[in-house]
Amino acid sequence: MNDAPPLLSVEGFGLEFRTRSGTVHALDGVDLAVRKGETVGLVGESGSGKSVLSFALLGISDRAARVTGGRAAFGGLELTRASEADLEAVRGREIAMIFQNPRTALNPIRRVGAQIEDVLRRHTTARAAELRERAIAALREVNIPDPERRHAAYPFELSGGMCQRVMIALALACRPALLIADEPTTGLDVTTQAAIMDLIAARARATGMATLFITHDLALAAEHCDRIVVMHAGHVVEAAPTAALFAGPRHPYTAQLIRATPAAESTIDALAAIPGNLPDLRRADLPACRFRARCARASARCDAPLPRLAPPPAHAVACWHPLDEARCA
């Protein structure tokens, strides 16, 4: 096991949004760690806080956002307290992100090669001819055919799959130490999906890049992640090595997710099988356990603050009535 401190370490992190219709308690007490070379899956229903967390880590939250507690550190940098200049130096260079919607993340009126060069120019000392060469190499690395020609293409001239590859080329161009990939393959056909996941995995193997892989797709997470972190309504409810999580989920929510995902292609939101909805995160009286109203195991004990998650690599669960530990894990 790797004893080095995690590359990314989030502890007790909380964040809320002040909106006209009330305060949205989007994240509360979130713990998360990603080590060098590790791929960690972040899974949970729509609205559970996966994207909000990733934006907060990069310091690019909505203006209405306010950090309510905890810390997030990347290497020696306290992300929650860093200056805009420090964050600017890290973003795109050491921490890269693939956004949930590639078409909105790419600039529609700038050629894709120029967009990659912009990132390289910001973070390296490379000059014009070398920038072009490196941008073409970055496109080639993500298996874009005819990269010299595609360098001059606008996003609208490329298919969804190609745009997604450009996004990945953009993210990987500076050889980041950490990649945050938010639904990098959603909406793509299965073959393209597999090719893109393989690309990311190959880069991780080659450079020791750490990956935080955000997805609705439990089967995809099972296939590609070393560990999985399960979120529900702004809480991390369970975190475990992938095999242990699937062999013996301990949180009732995780157990339901896994039980309800029988087919490889099912995604969490396609499931009607999990009763109830996420609680309204604007409620001032959110229960200590936000799964309580949906949980068959709930009791008066669940009114107490949730037990703190054990640090990785332990199989950690934030529940007063967890299911038995797997015997076969």
Ligand X SMILES: Nc1ncnc2c1ncn2[C@@H]1O[C@H](COP(=O)(O)OP(=O)(O)OP(=O)(O)O)[C@@H](O)[C@H]1O
Binding residues (CB under 6 A) for ligand X: these are 17, 19, 24, 26, 44, 46-52, 62, 64, 100, 216, 281
Phi, psi of 70, deg, nearest 5: 85, -175
The least CB distance from residue 182 to ligand X, in Å, is: 7
DSSP letters, 263-307, are: STT--GGG---S-S----TT-TT--SSTTGGG-TT--GGGGSPPP
Count of residues making up the chain: 329
Closest to ligand X by CB, 42 or 95: 42
Closest to ligand X by CB, 19 or 299: 19
Q: Using CB distances below 5 to 8 A depending on partner kind, what does residue 26 bind out of Mg ion, ligand X, none?
A: ligand X
Nearest CA among 110, 117, 87 for reference residue 156: 110
Region from 50-58, 156-164, 190-198, 316-324 binding Mg ion, contact rule CB under 5 A: 50-58
Amino acid identity of residue 314, one-letter, is A
Vertex 43: Cα angle to 303 and 237 (nearest 5): 20
Q: Using CB distances below 5 to 8 A depending on partner kind, what does residue 174 bind out of ligand X, Mg ion, none?
A: none
Q: Are 176 and 95 in contact (CB under 8 A)?
A: yes
Phi, psi of 245, deg, nearest 5: -65, -45
Within 8 A by CB and 6+ apart from 225, the residues are 39, 40, 41, 213, 242
Phi, psi of 216, deg, nearest 5: -90, -10
The least CB distance from residue 265 to ligand X, in Å, is: 17
Q: Any idea which residue has 């490329």 for tokens?
A: 158
Per the structure block, which two tokens stand in for 298? 């709930």
Helices 128-141 and 112-123: crossing angle in degrees, nearest 10, is 120
The least CB distance from residue 207 to ligand X, in Å, is: 27
Closest to ligand X by CB, 46 or 107: 46
Q: Using CB distances below 5 to 8 A depending on partner kind, what does residue 64 bind out of ligand X, Mg ion, none?
A: ligand X
The least CB distance from residue 212 to Mg ion, in Å, is: 13
Closest to ligand X by CB, 64 or 152: 64
Closest to ligand X by CB, 24 or 167: 24
Region from 49-57, 232-240, 260-268, 295-303 binding Mg ion, contact rule CB under 5 A: 49-57
Q: Using CB distances below 5 to 8 A depending on partner kind, what does residue 104 bind out of ligand X, Mg ion, none?
A: none
- Residue 54 found at the interface with Mg ion (CB under 5 A): no
- Tally Cβ neighbours within 10 Å of residue 212: 26
Q: Using CB distances below 5 to 8 A depending on partner kind, what does residue 235 bind out of ligand X, Mg ion, none?
A: none
The least CB distance from residue 186 to ligand X, in Å, is: 9
Q: Which of 51, 61, 211, 242 binds Mg ion (CB under 5 A)?
A: 51
The least CB distance from residue 272 to ligand X, in Å, is: 16
Enumerate binding residues for Mg ion (CB under 5 A). 50-51
